[in-house]
């Protein structure tokens, strides 16, 4: 792959249900079709949004993870219908920015990360702290979509 032609081979997009995340997903699909790239869709189950009892319950976490995986499969199906040729999925648990930078990027071998600027929950909605973290610490190029 030549970065000089401004194309990428493996594009990672982080998704949740926020409006910015939806914009990032749509841009990532278009970019993958244009570059004939693999689309890698990820979402992180955020444990800080659960009570201690929910975290300790294996059945609860398993159910939440299954629901998230089903949600990611929906994104995959949309991308395939759009014309993306190859789609991979990664679901994990923890702090989203940290998990994407430290685990998902190395595991997926992505060469571009596309994310929305705002999180869907809490005070992070206003500061975009996950996007800022990923932009600062990502070992690959990051595109933040608004």
Q: Tens of pLDDT along 7-41?
A: 899 999 999 878 889 999 999 999 999 999 999 99
The pLDDT tens digits of the residues spanning 56-89 come to: 444 444 457 788 899 999 999 999 999 999 999 9
Radius of gyration of the chain (CA): 15
The pLDDT tens digits of the residues spanning 45-58 come to: 876 554 444 444 44
**Residue with token string 């030549």:** 2
Supply the CATH number for residue 31's domain: 3.40.50.620
pTM for this predicted structure: 0.82
The pLDDT tens digits of the residues spanning 91-137 come to: 988 888 999 999 999 999 999 999 988 755 544 444 467 888 999 99
Domain assignment of residue 13, given as a range: 3-145
Q: How far apart are CA 62 and CA 68, in angstroms?
A: 10
Domain count, the chain: 1
SS3 87: strand
């Amino acid at each position: 792959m030549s970065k000089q032609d401004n194309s990428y081979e493996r594009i990672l997009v982080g998704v949740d249900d926020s409006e910015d995340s939806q914009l990032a997903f749509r841009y990532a699909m278009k970019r993958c079709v244009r570059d004939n790239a693999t689309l890698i869709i990820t979402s992180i189950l955020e444990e800080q949004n659960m009570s201690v009892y929910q975290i300790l319950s294996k059945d609860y976490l398993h159910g939440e993870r299954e629901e998230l995986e089903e949600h990611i499969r929906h994104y995959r199906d949309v991308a395939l219908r759009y014309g993306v040729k190859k789609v991979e999925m990664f679901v994990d648990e923890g702090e989203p920015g940290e998990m994407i930078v430290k685990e998902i990027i190395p595991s997926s071998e992505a060469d571009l990360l596309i994310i929305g600027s705002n999180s869907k929950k809490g005070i992070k909605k206003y500061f975009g702290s996950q996007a800022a973290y990923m932009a600062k610490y990502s070992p690959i190029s990051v595109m933040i979509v608004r």
